[in-house]
């Protein structure tokens, strides 16, 4: 790179960002040349100068330090350089619990789901939650064959060579009784002493030190050169397993013992406890031993001990029902708020960011904290110059909890939130409103693709790993191509191949890199429907929702067509409010609407309590739904009026179809409808579809006896709860419905089944007992 023309002090923020991006790229290339190809292309002194420039810019703009900044890198760890490995069984995460109440509720939830009597003893393991990075190590016939980081849970990075250098991980399993094939899972970490020694050595050598033992462990493992990993004293605790060809234990506790017998270290502090009381006690003890462990733990993991129960409990989305991570409370620190900056996100949302005097909280140096929105700044009366109390909990972005008023400088003025977007369009910032017309705390720039900040953020999202995952199209390339006018919308990415020569004419674009870039773009012309939907970057449509939508609509055509129809049918404010009411599920909403349209039970004695009247008028409502309605509407007249209004505002079938997809709901459906209601978005999608082949979504499972069938459960089930039955059926690819119609394939009826059974008989639908059902699904 030519010597930087501008002195660091004179750089504007966008210039700094562009240069940091370019430097990161350049340094990474030199790293590869040096470490991988043993063929450095510049002198050590020039390399050091680039690093210094990077460090100087970062020192002036600490908030621009990126996660993958060269200054945070030791050696040449570049994730793209690791081969991808698909896990035999996905590596999921755990839901968090933060209090005794949460732990008690976890126990209660397990009991409810398994329908256990209150006096039944439930055994749990309580294990320290090691703060390192998880790893899955595959053994075949007892031999270590592969090791992978967690990655995105489904696919991780191949770190086999590096893992083989960790002394505490056996190359060959000891003892006996191990399955022929098994993925052993656990945490790679660094002890406090080893961490301190590593950092001291790095500081001595003038290298960047790591912020905490977890980063150091990750950085040490993800080295391209395994001899570097070998030189780091990494350690390993085993606590779980993924794919296994044969069962080998009946309880988690027994499994931990087996893992130990096969040569792994397991956490000595793990205990087997019983019931909610046991969970609480284990947490208290873990808090006491925490300072003496010599390595970081950030909480306690509770797991249901019996593996057959774990199996029944299954998973919700990305986390198991049978386990939870009880986190230690957040750590706090004080510092000075130096400035408040404004950032524009992908959707135009304006986020104020606090720039802080650097401070260490729980082992991490913090320089930025989110301030969420203008209201939050006003509510906490946060002013530039204030001393603030900062809090950090786990990986959560640091938050400002409060201002230390006694230390406020005399001249500190209340923060004046900008009225216009910092983008060149200077749009007036408008407050967003909800379906029912209420103002929210979010302010937005309405510039959309015309706002360069939003356009770039959109493109960044589009190419990101979980969306189109286009390698080689990083911040630097996107910024440059957008500036050149080559990228105005996502579809333009697929037309870049026509600009091959123009790209080659740019600084720092060589034959190989351009060929690779264009090849990785071509690679993505065939894209899975869920990635396509997620890539559109519609507000509220995250990964889970995108997957649910893709499963429901199956093809891009069906999704787009229905969404376009939905655009003209958005729910009215009262319908939206009712549907969004906490405690009111879709069935309850339909029941209320049915009632309002003059269904049965309109004539209810007026002298009863609201709850009793509701019970009589809308028998389908459970107590939670009744309480939610009472809390919101207070009296019968208001409730009835609201219900009638909501019924009158019911949107059309297409909108309802979108909203009825699992995990979508009215709010997200509105976002989809709004998105497809805009001409330019419709054009953008059409344009994109013209470039792509969208692969139809896979159905959950098709090779089971009930795949694709619509099943209704009715009456009381005796060997499983309704939730459990539903989850099991869905896992096997069935669709579970609440009412019987001609389209129903199977009705599973337990004792006490009433009208649904009659309905099934009327339509000639096959009826099974619970035992017959279990025999059918092999449960
Ligand atoms: S069990 C289905 N046990 O915590 C997930 N995880 O938030 C099974 N962790 O990704 C994980 N100590 O990296 C389990 N004793 C322990 C753990 C533990 C630390 C980490 C692990 C996991 C994360 C879950």
Q: In CATH, what number is assigned to the domain containing residue 511?
A: 1.10.150.20
Work out the angle at residue 216's Cα, subtended by the Cα atoms of residues 212 and 218, and round it to the nearest 5 degrees.
120
Residue 575 sits in the same domain as residue 609:
yes
227 HSE (CA, 13 A, CB side): 2
Residue 316 sits in the same domain as residue 398:
no
Q: Which residue has the least CA distance to atom 23 on ligand 1? A: 93
Set 51, 73, 81, 129: catalytic member: 129
Q: What does the alpha-carbon distance between residue 25 and residue 720 come to, in Å, rounded to a whole number?
A: 55
Residue 194 sits in the same domain as residue 131:
yes
Q: What does the alpha-carbon distance between residue 286 and residue 296 come to, in Å, rounded to a whole number?
A: 12
Q: Which residue has the least CA distance to atom 6 on ligand 1? A: 129
**pLDDT for position 649:** 87
Residue 13 sits in the same domain as residue 101:
no
CA of 133 to the centre of ligand 1 (A): 9
By CB neighbour count within 10 A (0-12 exposed, 13-18 middle, 19+ buried), where does 742 fall? exposed
Examine residue 752 and state whether it is found in any structural domain, yes or no.
yes
Residue 592 sits in the same domain as residue 734:
no
What does the DSSP assignment read for 324-369?
EEEEPPPEEEEEEEEEEEEEE-TTSBEEEEEEEEEEEETTEEEEEE
Examine residue 633 and state whether it is found in any structural domain, yes or no.
yes
CA of 125 to the centre of ligand 1 (A): 13
**pLDDT for position 213:** 85
Least Cα distance to 146 among 116, 184, 178 occurs for 184
CA 308 to chain centre: 28
CA of 539 to the centre of ligand 1 (A): 30
Examine residue 440 and state whether it is found in any structural domain, yes or no.
no
CB 732 within 8 A of CB 774: no
Residue 683 sits in the same domain as residue 751:
no
CATH number at residue 297: 3.30.470.30
**pLDDT for position 33:** 58
Examine residue 79 and state whether it is found in any structural domain, yes or no.
no
Which ligand 1 atom sits nearest the alpha carbon of residue 325?
Answer: 7
Residue 626 sits in the same domain as residue 571:
yes
Residue 276 sits in the same domain as residue 317:
yes
CATH number at residue 357: 2.40.50.140
Examine residue 86 and state whether it is found in any structural domain, yes or no.
no
CA of 266 to the centre of ligand 1 (A): 13
Examine residue 387 and state whether it is found in any structural domain, yes or no.
yes
Least Cα distance to 130 among 314, 281, 372, 299 occurs for 299
Report the residue among 125, 239, 322 best suited for mutation to probe ligand 1: largest number of ligand atoms under 8 A from its CB: 239
Report the residue among 90, 93, 270 best suited for mutation to probe ligand 1: largest number of ligand atoms under 8 A from its CB: 93
Among 643, 668, 695, which residue terminates a domain?
Answer: 695
Examine residue 87 and state whether it is found in any structural domain, yes or no.
no
223: CB partners within 8 A, 6+ apart: 74, 75, 76, 77, 162, 229
Residue 142 sits in the same domain as residue 277:
yes
CA of 261 to the centre of ligand 1 (A): 21
Q: Where in the sequence is the domain holding 591, given as residue range(s)?
A: 533-695
Among 327, 352, 373, which residue terminates a domain?
Answer: 327
CA of 767 to the centre of ligand 1 (A): 42
Cα–Cα distance list, 55 to 66, 204, 207, 208 (Å): 12, 17, 11, 10
Among 327, 346, 361, which residue terminates a domain?
Answer: 327
CA 705 to chain centre: 32
Q: Which residue has the least CA distance to atom 9 on ligand 1? A: 129
CATH number at residue 21: 1.10.287.610
In the chain (779 residues long), the average pLDDT of successive 10-residue segments reads 63 86 82 53 66 84 76 48 88 90 96 93 97 96 95 90 94 95 97 85 71 85 87 95 97 98 96 97 92 88 98 88 91 90 84 89 79 85 94 67 93 92 84 67 79 90 91 90 94 97 92 94 95 92 85 94 91 85 84 80 72 89 91 89 90 90 81 90 95 85 84 86 78 82 89 84 91 87
By CB neighbour count within 10 A (0-12 exposed, 13-18 middle, 19+ buried), where does 246 fall? exposed
The domain total for the chain is: 6
**Predicted TM-score (pTM) above 0.75:** no
Tally of CB atoms within 10 A around 424: 11
Residue 167 sits in the same domain as residue 281:
yes
Residue 682 sits in the same domain as residue 581:
yes
Protein residues whose CB sits closer than 6 Å to any atom of ligand 1: 92-94, 127, 129-130, 134, 187, 239-240, 301, 320, 325
Kind and range of the H or E run holding 315 = strand 315-316
756 is catalytic: no
The tens digit of pLDDT for each residue in 421-470 reads 888 888 888 877 765 566 777 788 887 778 888 999 999 999 998 899 99
Examine residue 439 and state whether it is found in any structural domain, yes or no.
no
The residue written with tokens 């082949």 in the block is 693
Residue 166 sits in the same domain as residue 32:
no
Which ligand 1 atom sits nearest the alpha carbon of residue 150?
Answer: 10
- Could you give the residue ranges of the DSSP H alpha helices within 464-555? 475-483, 490-493, 500-504, 511-523, 529-535, 543-553
**pLDDT for position 36:** 46
Report the residue among 90, 97, 130 best suited for mutation to probe ligand 1: largest number of ligand atoms under 8 A from its CB: 130
């Amino acid at each position: 790179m030519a010597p930087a023309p501008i002195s660091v002090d004179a750089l504007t923020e966008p210039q700094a960002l562009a240069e940091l991006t370019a430097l990161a790229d350049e340094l990474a290339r030199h790293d590869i040349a040096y470490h991988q190809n043993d063929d450095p292309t510049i002198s050590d002194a020039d390399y050091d100068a680039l690093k210094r420039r990077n460090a100087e810019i970062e020192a002036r703009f600490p908030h621009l330090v990126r996660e993958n900044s060269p200054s945070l890198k030791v050696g040449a760890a570049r994730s793209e350089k690791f081969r991808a490995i698909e896990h035999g069984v996905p590596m999921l995460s755990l839901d968090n619990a933060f209090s005794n109440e949460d732990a008690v509720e976890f126990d209660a939830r397990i009991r409810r789901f398994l329908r256990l009597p209150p006096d039944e003893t439930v055994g749990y393991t309580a294990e320290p939650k090691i703060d390192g990075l998880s790893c899955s190590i595959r053994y075949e016939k007892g031999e270590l064959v592969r090791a992978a980081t967690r990655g995105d849970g489904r696919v991780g990075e191949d770190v086999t060579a590096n893992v083989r250098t960790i002394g505490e991980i056996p190359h060959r399993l000891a003892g006996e009784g191990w399955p022929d094939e098994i993925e052993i899972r656990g945490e790679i970490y660094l002890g406090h002493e080893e961490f301190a020694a590593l950092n001291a050595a790095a500081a001595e050598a003038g290298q960047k030190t790591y912020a905490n033992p977890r980063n150091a462990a990750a950085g040490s493992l993800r080295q391209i050169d395994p001899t570097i990993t070998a030189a780091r004293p990494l350690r390993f605790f085993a606590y779980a397993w993924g794919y296994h060809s044969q069962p080998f234990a009946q309880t988690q506790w027994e499994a931990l013992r087996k893992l130990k017998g096969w040569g792994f270290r397991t956490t000595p502090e793990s205990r087997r406890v019983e019931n909610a009381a046991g969970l609480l006690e284990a947490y208290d003890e873990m808090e006491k031993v925490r300072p003496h462990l010599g390595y970081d733990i950030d909480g306690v993991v509770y797991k249901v001990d019996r593996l057959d129960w774990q199996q029944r409990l299954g998973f919700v989305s990305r986390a198991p029902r049978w386990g939870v991570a009880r986190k230690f409370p957040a750590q706090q620190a004080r510092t000075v708020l130096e400035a408040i900056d404004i950032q524009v996100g992908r959707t135009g949302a304006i986020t104020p960011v606090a720039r802080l005097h650097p401070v260490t909280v729980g082992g991490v140096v913090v320089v930025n904290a989110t301030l969420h929105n203008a209201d939050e700044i006003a509510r906490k009366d946060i002013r530039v110059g204030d001393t603030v109390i900062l809090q950090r909990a786990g990986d959560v972005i640091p938050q400002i909890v409060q201002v230390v008023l006694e230390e406020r400088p005399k001249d500190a003025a209340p923060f004046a939130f900008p009225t216009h977007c910092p983008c060149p369009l200077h749009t007036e910032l408008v407050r967003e409103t909800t379906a029912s017309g209420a103002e929210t705390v979010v302010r937005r720039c309405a510039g959309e693709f015309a706002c360069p900040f939003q356009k770039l953020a959109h493109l960044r999202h589009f190419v990101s790993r979980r969306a189109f995952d286009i390698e080689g199209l990083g911040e630097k390339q996107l910024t440059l191509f957008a500036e050149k006018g080559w990228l105005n919308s996502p579809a333009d990415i697929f037309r870049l191949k026509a600009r091959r020569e123009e790209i080659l004419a740019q600084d720092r674009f060589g034959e190989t890199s351009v060929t690779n870039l264009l090849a990785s773009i071509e690679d993505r012309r065939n894209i899975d429907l869920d990635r396509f939907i997620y890539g559109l970057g519609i507000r509220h449509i995250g990964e889970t929702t995108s997957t649910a939508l893709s499963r429901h609509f199956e093809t891009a055509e069906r999704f787009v067509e229905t969404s376009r129809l939905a655009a003209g049918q958005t729910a009215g404010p009262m319908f939206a409010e009712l549907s969004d009411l906490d405690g009111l599920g879709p069935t309850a909403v339909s029941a209320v609407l049915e009632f309002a349209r003059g269904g049965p039970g309109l004539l209810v004695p007026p002298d009863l309590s609201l709850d009793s009247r509701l019970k009589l008028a809308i028998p389908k409502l459970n107590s939670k739904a009744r309480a939610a309605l009472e809390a919101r509407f207070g009296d019968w007249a208001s409730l009835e009026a609201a219900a009638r209004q909501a019924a009158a505002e019911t949107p059309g079938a297409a909108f309802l179809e979108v909203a009825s997809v699992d995990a979508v709901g009215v709010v997200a459906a509105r976002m989809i409808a709004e998105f497809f209601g805009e001409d330019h978005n419709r054009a953008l999608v059409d344009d994109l579809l013209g470039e792509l082949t969208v692969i139809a979504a896979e159905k959950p499972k098709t090779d089971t006896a009930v795949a694709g069938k619509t099943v209704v459960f009715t009456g009381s089930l005796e060997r499983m709860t309704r939730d459990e039955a539903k989850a099991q059926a869905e896992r096997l690819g069935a669709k579970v419905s609440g009412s019987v119609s001609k389209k129903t394939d199977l009705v599973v009826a337990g004792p006490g089944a009433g009208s649904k059974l009659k309905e099934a008989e009327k339509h000639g639908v096959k009826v099974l007992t619970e035992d017959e059902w279990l025999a059918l699904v092999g449960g």
